[in-house]
Amino acid sequence: MDTQTQRKYVYEPSKTTEPDFPSASRPKGSPFFAHLITFLILFSLWILLSGKFDLFHLSLGIISCIIITLISGDLLFPESKTKGLIRSWLCFLRYIPWLLYQIILANLHILYLVFHPRMMELIDPEIITFQSKLKKELSLVTFANSITLTPGTITVYVSVNGDFHVHSIDKKSAELLPGEMESKVARAFGEQ
């Protein structure tokens, strides 16, 4: 009888409202610059991982990085838009220390919850839903990962139009959403 009255969480991924991914109809720009940046990232990763600077290993690295760039060069920068790239990366780098500070604060909060002797009275889990204002896919993914990294909240479901389902462990962490973090992410990716 108890199961009848229990409030049930119904999972409805709103499939009808999702638009198609616009990547097929995107205008293709000149992919050379994006390929060059991909190659440089891959090659610096190769140097970091191998740690050998003689001619044989470096040439092996160059050959394999060229092959990978030709196969999957449009994976990192699908829009081939390289105009505001460096500036947006700088903005993203400014977002990271704030995120780290927030992670440490919230981790201390959850540590207090876990070691509290009367923990079962303190926690109050529920699933909340809200609509986000963000538009780009990359900022949506970053926002979802930031929510998951900040303890007390886990993203359960995200749709392309910014429909968030978030599981939160107590009232205090549920109140923080979608507050300051959304505007910070919006500023980091150039959306206002």
Partner 1 sequence: MDIVVTAFLVIGLVFFTGGGVGILRLPDFYTRLHPAGKLDTLGSLMMMMGIAVFNLHHFTWGALLTSLKIILIVVFIFLSSPTATHSIVDAGVRAGLEPWTKKERRE
Give whichever of 84 and 125 is closer to partner 1, judged by the CB atom.
Answer: 125
Q: Please identify which residue in 16, 114, 118, 192 interacts with partner 1, judged by CB under 8 A.
A: 114
Question: Are 146 and 115 within 8 A, CB to CB?
Answer: no
Q: Does residue 92 bind partner 1 (CB under 8 A)?
A: no
Should residue 148 be labelled a site residue for partner 1 when binding is judged by CB under 8 A?
yes
Among 14, 21, 111, 175, binds partner 1 (CB under 8 A): 111
Per CB under 8 A, the list member of 126, 133, 175, 190 interacting with partner 1 is 126
User: Which residue, among 167, 160, 161, has the nearest Cα to 129 in the 3D structure?
Assistant: 167
Q: Which is nearer to partner 1, 65 or 144 (CB)?
A: 144
Give least dist CB 47 to partner 1, A: 9
* Among 15, 17, 54, 115, contact with partner 1 (rule: CB under 8 A): 115
Residue with tokens 């030709």: 70
Q: Which of 39, 47, 46, 21 is closest to 75 using CA atoms?
A: 39
Contact assessment for residue 189 and residue 88, using Cβ atoms and an 8 Å cutoff: yes
Place of tokens 């109140």: 175
Q: Which residue bears the tokens 């610059």? A: 33
Short-list 5, 7, 44, CA closest to 126: 7
Which residue of 152, 177, 186, 189 would you call a contact of partner 1, by CB under 8 A?
Answer: 152
User: What string marks each residue from 8 to 47 as x (binds partner 1 by CB under 8 A) or -?
Assistant: xx-x------------------------------------
How many angstroms separate the CA atoms of 138 and 148, rounded?
Answer: 15
Residue 114: which residues within 8 A CB-CB, separation 6 or more? none
> Hey, what are 182's tokens?
């959304």
Nearer to partner 1, 80 or 184 (CB): 184
Token pair for 86: 């460096």
Under rule CB under 8 A, residue 156 binds partner 1:
yes
| Site for partner 1, rule CB under 8 A | 2, 5-9, 11, 48-49, 51, 103-104, 107, 110-111, 114-115, 119-120, 123-127, 144-145, 148-152, 154-157, 167, 169
